Structure 1
Amino acid sequence: MKLWYVSLMALMAFTSQMAFAQRIKDVADIQGVRSNQLVGYGLVVGLPGTGEQSPFTEQSFRTMLSNFGISLDPNTKPKIKNVAAVAVHAELPPFIKPGQTIDITVSSVGEASSLRGGTLLQTFLKGVDGNVYAVAQGSLVVSGFGAEGQDGSRIVANTPTVGRIPNGALVEQSVPSGFANGDSLTLNLHYPDFSTAKRLADTINERLGAQPDQGYVIATPLDAASVKVSAPRDIGQRVGFLATLENFEFEPADAPARVVINSRTGTIVIGQDVRLLPAAITHGGLTVTIAENQQVSQPNALGEGQTVVTTQSLVDVDLADSRMFKFEPGITLDQLVRAVNEVGAAPGDLMAILEALQQAGALRGELVII
């Protein structure tokens, strides 16, 4: 099976060597402005016999009835095949206020075969500090389903034991934020890089009229991941300031030279700055020779134009009995991959070659296997 058919290999990473501008909002977050995870435990009722008869579900059911002033005989075991114990979780977005709603996900924690048709009873959603920040309740939307015959045969589509409730939780209290505190904010890069942090700070200073040579700066890089930015103290002005700031565009630094291999799917992603050093590899029955020739282009007789040096890449593939991969220094992995692909090699062949290059120290880049 050909390499390009098994996985697209991300050779598009080589199609463009030009840097491109990105907005600040796409590459950085504001420190302290974050979501919070909520979790709770509750009961789903109204199931069409797809619930469970587990001890903790029975205990939860008895506790619920006792809260309503109903007590059951301890020796009586209720039949609760229409009830399921579930875990409920949600994300509490930043700046959300009491009275607003958030989506929730409901998952079975016991032996219930399906939550389709069920209704979640009132469930408290707590944060990591143990406080209740939202209350969930409502009818579930379940995309999966299952069917089982008397002979034990069973068909299950998607996941019938997990459902969602859009706007299923009502926010009871908000999480305090340090957004309005102090006279500065910190931008945290999604991918730390010293060059990118410096370029970000330089862009902000240039666009906002700072004069670093005279000691007046607005943005200061703190490390590879953070840039400190002076901001107005008035909350209204601060919001307007950030609305302008986050739309500034700048060119982040190039990503590190890296090769990422997914050994389960055969996907290979190769960064544009990965290079090869002189090496020779024995692999299968292929002979791949790659070389680069430098050529000089002279101006025409009238003297127009300039003398430039161009590179001509030569790739030769031979299916003889020879088993040696041979290439010159400075050759890109793009050329090696194309050469191997021309003979219809499998993804495992290229993976083995890349791993061998890494062990030999001939691969100028980080090899990541996931």
Structure 2
Amino acid sequence: MHHQALILLALVVSLCSGAEAWAQGKTRLANISRLKGQEENVLRGVGLVIGLNGTGEANDPATMRALSRVLELMGNPVTATGRFDEDAQQALRNVKNVALVMVTATVPPTGSRSGDKINCTVSALNGKSLEGGQLVSAALQGPNTQDASVFALCEGSVQISNPTQPMVGVIHQGCQLTRDVTTPFVSEDGWVTIVLDPNHADFHVSEAVADQIATRYLDDFLPSKMRLEYEEVRERFVHPVDAANIRVKVPDKFLNDTVAFVSQLMDESIYGAEPEARVVCNTRTGSVVISGDVEIGDVAFTHSNLTIDTGQSAGFLPLAPDETQRPKLDRLVKSLKNLRVPGQDVIEIIRSIDRLGKLHAKLIIL
């Protein structure tokens, strides 16, 4: 089988200067990070959904035991002894309108107070469908499995959001907290920790954020009579722990108003916050997303009916003869698209370049 086409792609584009890249990286700190302590908390528990139209689970020991316990707590035990014995199992064996479910509720990063109501998700552990069901009061515990304290109670009508998944439903405002869930963001010794988002966690970004915070608050960390040099401020008050965490000491002037400090801090404009170059390929949709100017090395290979050469081989003219820098991946992808190369083939070409060590970026395959 011979090649239907022999195509040379000599892709050369100019590099972006360091100053230009720095300016393009401007963003609010809040857009790329959060504060440690300001995390979502998931509450979990087990409950019963009743009122099902024959779509529950009959003759299931776990479901019958839970139903027996609920009836006992409501003053109507199945048997005179109140125990889950053979008589209780026999009495509940044919019940088909009950299903055992897992109930979860997510407390927002800002926390919630006792009495607040939030949505909860109900997922069936057995049965066929939760449609039309009613959740009997379910007690939810906190994320720490070693703590048996009850944080919330849930009940209400189950709404099926996706008809193709009748085993999962939502109860809007069906979870009421019984105790406060707080999310403190200042440590006992007066530090806050900035946590970079996973997509921005990078040693370069961490260092850039620390540098600019130290510069911006240089005069706030200590009174003017105790003026420090920038290097001392960095060492004593702003500490990048790793690629994702930066610890910042709350200045004395803000100790009684840490909210004002954090509000001001997270609103700061950060420059040079671009993480490492990345290429994200979605094999299901065939899409390719490239962050920044991703370079590729000189490489020549054959794929399907194409012969691809990103160098400047003799006998072929480059697509951009006036440019002399390294070729860029976006130019290659654009050229392949113009040649109507399928998205899956484009992704395979990128993977081949990466395997050869010629892709100067982190490749992420979804």
TM-score higher than 0.5: yes
Change (3 A) 1:81 1:341: same
| CA contact 1:184–1:232 (8 Å) conserved in 2 | no
CA distance in 2, matches of 1:169, 1:265: 38
Which structure is higher in strand share? 1
Partner of 1:226: 245
Partner of 2:39: 34
- Secondary structure of the 1:215 match is helix
Change (3 A) 1:255 1:23: same
Shift of 1:110: 0.1
CA distance in 2, matches of 1:215, 1:262: 46
Could you tell me which amino acid in structure 1 is paired with residue 270 of structure 2?
F
CA distance in 1, matches of 2:255, 2:179: 21
| CA contact 2:298–2:311 (8 Å) conserved in 1 | no
- Secondary structure of the 1:103 match is strand
CA distance in 1, matches of 2:348, 2:177: 53
Could you tell me which amino acid in structure 1 is paired with residue 74 of structure 2?
F
| CA contact 1:186–1:229 (8 Å) conserved in 2 | yes
Name stretches of at least 5 consecutive residues in structure 2 with no aligned partner.
Answer: 1-15, 80-86, 220-227
Matches within 5 A, 1:3-22: 19-22=24-27
CA distance in 2, matches of 1:76, 1:30: 54
Q: Residue 131 of structure 1: which of 137, 142, 149 is its match?
A: 149
Matches within 5 A, 1:208-219: 208-210=217-219, 212-213=229-230, 215-216=232-233, 218-219=237-238
Name stretches of at least 5 consecutive residues in structure 1 with no aligned partner.
Answer: 1-13, 145-156, 293-311, 317-327
Change (3 A) 1:83 1:230: same
| CA contact 1:119–1:140 (8 Å) conserved in 2 | yes
Partner of 1:81: 96
Deviates more, 1:347-356 or 1:227-236: 227-236
| CA contact 2:27–2:273 (8 Å) conserved in 1 | no
CA distance in 2, matches of 1:355, 1:214: 43
CA distance in 2, matches of 1:76, 1:192: 58
Partner of 2:84: none
Partner of 1:95: 111
1:192-220 CA-to-partner distances (Å, cap 9, x unmatched) read 22221222123223333435437345433
Q: Residue 339 of structure 2: which of 337, 340, 343 is its match?
A: 343
Shift of 1:123: 0.6
Partner of 1:266: 286
| CA contact 2:45–2:139 (8 Å) conserved in 1 | yes
CA distance in 2, matches of 1:231, 1:29: 16
| CA contact 2:120–2:174 (8 Å) conserved in 1 | yes
| CA contact 1:278–1:329 (8 Å) conserved in 2 | no
1:7-61 CA-to-partner distances (Å, cap 9, x unmatched) read xxxxxxx9x9662422112212212232222111001112233222133222211
Partner of 2:66: 60
- RMSD of the alignment, in Å? 2.9
Matches within 5 A, 1:1-370: 19-53=24-58, 54-73=60-79, 74=87, 75-93=90-108, 94-111=110-127, 113-127=128-142, 128=144, 129-144=147-162, 157-175=163-181, 177-180=183-186, 181-190=188-197, 191-210=200-219, 212-213=229-230, 215-216=232-233, 218-231=237-250, 236-288=256-308, 314=319, 330-370=326-366
Shift of 1:342: 1.9
CA distance in 1, matches of 2:135, 2:229: 59
Shift of 1:235: 6.7
Deviates more, 1:226-235 or 1:58-67: 226-235
- Secondary structure of the 1:122 match is strand
Which structure is higher in helix share? 2
| CA contact 1:290–1:315 (8 Å) conserved in 2 | no
1:127-176 CA-to-partner distances (Å, cap 9, x unmatched) read 223321111111222234xxxxxxxxxxxx33222111122111112246
| CA contact 1:288–1:315 (8 Å) conserved in 2 | no
CA distance in 2, matches of 1:102, 1:291: 58
CA distance in 2, matches of 1:215, 1:367: 39
CA distance in 1, matches of 2:94, 2:307: 72
- Secondary structure of the 2:24 match is coil
Change (3 A) 1:215 1:354: closer
1:261-309 CA-to-partner distances (Å, cap 9, x unmatched) read 22233222223232121221012223456678xxxxxxxxxxxxxxxxx
